[in-house]
């Protein structure tokens, strides 16, 4: 079986497991107050060039999105997101469960268009009845998006400016941030820290067993945030589990190297797909590639041993599938894939 279905089907990068082993029998304080967690926070501040950043480690993406959005919004506010945003479609209603509407806008290859965001907010305040409507209280973007695409620096600047003008936070979901940073892009981590109000650095899809690092960049972490995390059932007694892994990820450039590895292999994957005349659904510069198959091919590829993700119906006869590289993909995997295709 050849696994290209996602970027989280393996366990941890070996260096992270090793770090867990090496620190395993140390007695450490609980709930994210241990020295490895503190060290990881410090390293994230350094690489983000945001020395006053407030960093908290959480278990997963949906939990992180729910906690950030629920705590930064007022009760009468909703969050603006692309209709394809993860919070809109694939988190089982976690945002609404916490009391807030996801105000969806059309997407352009998974991205929000700053013009649409500006227009939505303008129209909202122009409406005489807006006190009976849900206030736009935050802008949520994912980077890379659910379609693997990336915002340009200029796009992020424009979104940041709009949010600044209306005094609402800009939140960047970085579940796959490492892959985004390693792609051809003019957006680096310090710029993201500067232009957003809060973002998170994904671990689960970047070689950690578990863990996402939420970074509040503008001294805007809600007061008593750890109590809020506890109240959501999201505070781990052994916070070290995530702290040790992130401490290692941000040692010796590992996080960035894992991203680069996956992006290099993604480029080779694209070359193979082009060579074999596969049709791309869109142009993705990151580790997720989307191609359009005739429905008849789906079963053939499965039987040949390829594990992919069914993404969506394209039309009656065609289907979009996802192939993803990751920190754990090898050149041998690509060669084997080439043979199958």
Q: Among 35, 60, 153, 268, which residue sits at the site for a second copy (rule: CB under 8 A)?
A: 60
Closer by beta carbon to a second copy, 10 or else 218? 10
Asked if 114 is part of the footprint of a second copy (rule: CB under 8 A), the reply reads no
Looking at residues 226 to 285 of the shown chain, list those that interact with a second copy (rule: CB under 8 A): 226-228, 230-238, 240-241
Asked if 6 is part of the footprint of a second copy (rule: CB under 8 A), the reply reads yes
Close Cβ partners of 194 (under 8 Å, ≥ 6 residues apart) = 50, 217
Asked if 146 is part of the footprint of a second copy (rule: CB under 8 A), the reply reads no
Asked if 107 is part of the footprint of a second copy (rule: CB under 8 A), the reply reads no
Q: How far is the CB of 114 from a second copy (least distance, A)?
A: 22
The string over 271-295, giving b where at least 16 C-beta atoms fall within 10 Å of a residue's C-beta and e elsewhere, is: ebbeeeebeebeebbbbbbbbbbee
Closer by beta carbon to a second copy, 32 or else 285? 32
Closer by beta carbon to a second copy, 47 or else 134? 134
Looking at residues 175 to 214 of the shown chain, list those that interact with a second copy (rule: CB under 8 A): 204-205, 209-210
The H helix count followed by the E strand count for the chain is: 14, 13
Phi and psi torsions of 338, nearest 5°: -55, -40
> From CA 99, how far away is CA 76, in angstroms rounded?
9
Three-state secondary structure call for residue 265: helix
> From CA 291, how far away is CA 44, in angstroms rounded?
35
Is residue 281 within 8 Å of 323, Cβ to Cβ? no
Interacting span for a second copy (CB under 8 A) from 61-69, 112-120, 149-157, 246-254: 61-69
Nearest in space to 92 (alpha carbons), one of 119, 66, 59, 118: 66
Asked if 90 is part of the footprint of a second copy (rule: CB under 8 A), the reply reads yes
Q: Is 166 exposed, middle or buried (0-12, 13-18, 19+ CB in 10 A)?
A: middle
Closer by beta carbon to a second copy, 122 or else 339? 122
Q: Among 52, 74, 219, 315, which residue sits at the site for a second copy (rule: CB under 8 A)?
A: 74
Asked if 299 is part of the footprint of a second copy (rule: CB under 8 A), the reply reads no
Asked if 75 is part of the footprint of a second copy (rule: CB under 8 A), the reply reads yes
């Amino acid at each position: 079986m050849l696994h290209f279905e996602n970027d989280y089907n393996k366990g941890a990068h070996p260096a992270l497991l090793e770090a867990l082993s090496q620190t395993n029998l140390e007695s450490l304080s609980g709930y994210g107050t241990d020295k490895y967690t503190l060290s990881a926070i410090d390293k994230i501040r350094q690489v983000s060039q945001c020395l006053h950043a407030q960093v908290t480690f959480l278990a997963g993406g949906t939990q992180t999105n729910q906690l950030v959005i629920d705590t930064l919004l007022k009760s009468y506010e909703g969050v603006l997101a692309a209709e394809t945003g993860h919070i809109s479609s694939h988190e089982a209603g976690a945002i609404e469960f916490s009391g807030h509407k996801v105000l969806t806008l059309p997407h352009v290859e998974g991205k929000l268009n700053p013009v649409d965001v500006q227009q939505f907010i303008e129209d909202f305040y122009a409406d005489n009845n807006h006190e009976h409507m849900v206030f736009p209280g935050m802008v949520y973007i994912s980077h890379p998006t659910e379609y693997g695409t990336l915002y340009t620096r200029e796009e992020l600047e424009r979104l940041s400016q709009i949010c600044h003008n209306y005094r609402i936070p800009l939140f960047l979901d970085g579940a796959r941030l490492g892959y985004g940073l390693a792609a051809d892009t003019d957006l680096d981590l310090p710029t993201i820290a500067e232009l957003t109000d809060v973002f998170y650095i994904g671990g689960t899809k970047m070689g950690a067993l578990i863990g996402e690092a939420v970074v509040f960049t503008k001294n805007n972490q809600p007061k008593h945030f750890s109590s809020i995390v506890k109240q959501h059932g999201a505070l781990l007694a052994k916070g070290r589990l995530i702290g040790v892994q992130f401490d290692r990820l941000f040692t010796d450039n590992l996080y960035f190297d894992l991203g680069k590895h996956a992006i290099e292999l993604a480029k080779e994957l694209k070359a193979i797909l082009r060579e074999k005349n596969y049709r791309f659904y869109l142009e993705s510069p990151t580790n997720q590639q989307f191609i359009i198959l005739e429905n008849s091919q789906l079963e053939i590829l499965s039987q040949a041993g390829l594990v992919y993700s069914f993404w969506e119906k394209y039309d009656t006869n065609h289907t979009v599938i996802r192939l993803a590289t990751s920190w754990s993909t090898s050149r041998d995997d690509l060669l084997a894939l080439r043979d199958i295709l």
